[in-house]
Structure formats: structure tokens, C-alpha cells
A and B are shown apart, each in its own frame.
Chain A
Amino acid sequence: MLVGVLALQGAFAAHELALAECGVQCRQVRVAADLDGIAALVMPGGESTTMSRLLVTSGLFDPLAQRIADGLAVFGTCAGMILLSAEVLDGRPDQVSFGAIDITVRRNGYGRQVDSFEADIEMPQLDSPFHAVFIRAPKVERVGAAVEVIASHAGVPVLARQGSVFVASFHPELTPDYRLHSLFLQEV
């Protein structure tokens, strides 16, 4: 199975390492032709406004939006979550998103870098807590009826899915624990 990793900017290399540990082949995705033949896509953390601009200038936005609409399995972490959300608060007015999961997120909703943190989160799919790293993370402020919340921290959803679209406000690629990548790949 070939899994794409959006490589416009951000922590794509860490995701590639995690996916390789799960035994799948990866391809960096920067232009539309890179989408050919991928079975799933990971959208990493990084700066969502930078990625938004590059999605447009590279001509990747429309073909990727079409693939997502056609059911491509996608896992967006942090900035990737912002890019997949239906509504983005405190974004730039020209910021694009795919609207692939019916949630509202607030950019930097947990604060600046000095407020970034790590914490254990629990979910029924895992037999022990997952240690999650939150970096200038987006905060989920609304969840639509079609969205399944998989895990929360301090009462706020941090991992959710709608169909084949998965989002996390934290960074499973920053810890040597690949259980969430494996869970995503099982759904592909």
C-alpha cells in the first residue's frame, strides 16, 4: 500500500518515519501528479496558513479536494486538522480548507508555544493511554452530529473521525508510539 504524506511544509518527515514503522510505503505529495496511486493521505502539522497558500499555488487544492470527496482516507494532525475542518476560527481570511469533517476549530486555541503541552489521553480502542504532544494546537469548539469523537482531553475533543476522514489536534508522529497510525491504516 502506498500512502501519501502532504509535504508542502511541516512535520511530514516524522510522519514518514511513523508510517514506515507500520510497514507501508510513503510518497511525499507536493503537486497534483503525486496523488496518483496513493491509497491514503496524511496531512501533517506545521503552519496551516503556509500550507493553505502552497495548496493553491501548487495547483494541488482542487484535485485533492476531489480525491477527498471521492472517499480518500485522510488523517490530518494539528495544521492538517485545520485544513480538513468545516469551519476555522482565528484563521486568515484567505485561508482555504477542505471542509471534510464537520467540526469548528480555533487556530492556536490552546495558546502560544509557552502553553504547548504533553498529556496522556485515553480511548477505548487502545488498552493503555496514548501520550500526546500538543504544539500551538487547534482547539475543537463544535462537533457536528455526523462526527464520532474518539478521544478527549479535559473535556475537549482531540481525536475524531467522520467516515474516512480522521483528525487529531495533537502530534502522534512526535512520539515513538505508532498505534494511531496503525488504527488509521486499518481503516484504509
Chain B
Amino acid sequence: MSSPDSPTARATGTYPVKRGLAEMLKGGVIMDVVTPEQARIAEDAGACAVMALERVPADIRRDGGVSRMSDPEMIEGIQAMVSIPVMAKVRIGHFVEAQILESLGVDFIDESEVLTPADEAHHIDKYKFTVPFVCGATNLGEALRRISEGACMIRSKGEAGTGNIVEAVRHLRSIIGDMKKITQADSAELFEWAKRLQAPLSLVQEIAETGWLPVPMFCAGGIATPADAALAMQLGAEAVFVGSGIFKSDDPSPRAKAIVEATTHFRDASILAKVSRGLGAPMTGIGMDEINQRFAERGW
């Protein structure tokens, strides 16, 4: 950084700069990819960013074991293949994985419950990083705790790797429903809200004024069809993450393109009908009573 009074002075890694990239991703689709070839298919389809990871959540769920940050070589392969932002995941609390991703020049870090948590009490202090972070949340309290740690974007968690939208809907409705109630609360009730949510009072007061989180909120976990993406957007999500839903389907490329168009034209049922035609089979998906590991329960 040069001196503040120099005509070329610039500040990197500031909160507005980090939050700014989250703002740029709104209205778009961020796609999970595990190879450079998949990243190319995602960019060709109009993804606004890709998430580089070793296995898609459906495979993590199937294989079990410990799931970690991806191999830097694989992330660099994806960075070399595409020109759109590249995100990557670290385990909850694993700040060294985050340091490594930052040194690779990754554009956004997802501190993700899809990977096996590294710390059972603490999330990463995200203010220490130049790179912005996104974190998952199942409810408003969790979202506000992540924001107070420096997250610049929240994604509703849903249940990754299931192809089932029901948990994402539950989380979006919970977060947005509580924000609506807070806007109706009087100033004395905000103290009680902060206590109940286990969240900083200042953030609760901010929601009472603005009606929304101080950072963008996207939806993740279970989107498998264009209609799922449009449902998340109509419920109030500002963009969507699609994990297993694209590359675990029969024909990923047309499905990816259709989900991008559905996310943009999310209120236009005639366009949604048009893009939903002839996409082949979506990922099979699983019911919530069929799974034994809920990723969404990870995070504190």
C-alpha cells in the first residue's frame, strides 16, 4: 500500500472491497466443479463463478471419511482454465487451509460444513484475510455470528449433496422470516432478539432498520432443477450455488445453461417452462429420512 496522500494510493483487502465482490455475484449461479474441464463447461454455460473442490457433496456423502481443502494443483488447473472468479472450500476453523488458498489467489473462500470440521468451537477470524469469505447458515443467529466474524456473504446451507430443496427452503424461510419479525419489533425487544439469536445487538439493530442482512445472502444445498433455482430466488435469495445438481445429472451442460437462465428470469414462468424442457434426468436425489449425516448441523 502506498502512502495515503500519494495520487496512486490504494487500499486492498478492505471490507468494502471484499463485500463488493459478493455484490457482483448477485443474480448469478456459482457451480461446483472438480476438474478444469467441468470449470470450462460451467463458464461456457454462464456461471458467474466456480467452486473448486475435490468431490461434489453427493460423493462426499457416499464415500464418507474426512473431507479437506482441495489439492492446490487442482485449484491452479481450474484458475488457468477459466477467467471467472474461482472459489474454494476450507474446513470450518481451519485457518491454515485458508492461508494457503489466499496465497493461491483464490477469489472467495467458503468456510464450509460440507468438509469435515477442523474446530468444534471456533470459526475462522475472517477479518485477518485479504480474500473475502462466505459461510453457511441455517438460521438468522448463525448468519449474524458468521458476519460478526467477518463473512462478506451468507449462503443458506440447505442440505448439500441431496438434490432435495426442502432444507434450503426451510433455512431461507427461517432467516428471512426472523428478519421480517425484527423489522416489526420495538427497540426494547431488539435486546431480547439479540439474546435469543446469540448474535451482536448492533447487527440486530441494523436489520431492524434495513430489513436485511448487511451482506448478500445466497442459497445453497439441494438445487437440482431450473425451478429449484427460481424458487430460491423468489423466496428472497440473491443468487444460487449449485453443487452436485449439475455434474450429477444426465447431461450437465444444458442443465447448467438452463439454471443460469432460470436464475435471471426467476419470475417469468414462460421462460422457466421453456428452459426446463428436455434436460434429461436430474440427479436422483435423496429424502431427508434416508440420510444419516446432516452437513447443515456442522457449524456453531
Contacts and interface: CB of A to CB of B under 8 A. Distances in A.
Interface of A: 7-14, 30-31, 45-47, 49-50, 53-54, 57-58, 78-79, 90-92, 107-108, 112-120, 133-136, 153-155, 171, 174-175
Given A14-B23, A107-B83, A154-B7, A116 B28 contact: no
B264 interface: yes
Contacts of B14: 117-118
A10 B27 CA distance: 6
Interface of B: 7-14, 16-17, 20-21, 23-28, 43, 45-49, 83-85, 102, 105, 107-108, 130-132, 238, 257, 260-261, 263-265, 268
A46 B24 CA distance: 4
Given A57-B261, A58-B265, A112-B105, A50 B16 contact: no
B241 to A, nearest CB: 14
A49 B20 contact: no
15 contacts: A10-B26, A31-B268, A50-B28, A58-B264, A78-B24, A108-B83, A112-B107, A113-B105, A113-B107, A114-B131, A115-B12, A118-B16, A119-B8, A133-B17, A134-B10
A91 B132 CA distance: 24
Given A47-B48, A50-B28, A30 B264 contact: yes
Contact of A117 (B7, B10, B107, B257): B10
Interface centre among B17, B24, B85, B260 (most CB of A within 10 A): B24
B26 A175 contact: no
Contacts, number: 135
A78 B21 CA distance: 12
B272 to A, nearest CB: 13
B91 to A, nearest CB: 21
Contacts of A30: 264-265, 268
A11 to B, nearest CB: 5
Contacts of B257: 57
Contacts of B102: 114
Interface centre among A31, A54, A90, A171 (most CB of B within 10 A): A54
Given A47-B48, A50-B48, A118-B16, 4 more contacts: A10-B24, A10-B25, A50-B84, A114-B12
A13 B210 CA distance: 14
B3 to A, nearest CB: 12
A120 B9 contact: yes
Nearest to A78: B24
Given A92-B83, A112-B105, A45 B12 contact: no
Contacts of A31: 265, 268
Nearest to B5: A120
A9 B264 contact: yes
Contact of A8 (B24, B132, B264): B264
B11 A118 contact: yes
A10 B28 contact: yes
A8 B130 CA distance: 29
Given A49-B83, A50-B47, A113-B107, A12 B27 contact: yes
B261 A54 contact: yes
Contacts of B107: 112-114, 136
A56 to B, nearest CB: 10
Contacts of B85: 47, 113, 136
B234 to A, nearest CB: 14
Contacts of A92: 43, 83
B26 A13 contact: yes
A50 B49 CA distance: 9
Nearest to B11: A118
A92 B47 CA distance: 13
A118 B260 contact: no
A112 B83 CA distance: 10
**The 7 nearest A-B residue pairs measured at CB:** A113-B107, A154-B8, A117-B10, A53-B46, A47-B48, A9-B27, A119-B10
B212 to A, nearest CB: 10
B24 A135 contact: yes
Contacts of B261: 54, 57-58
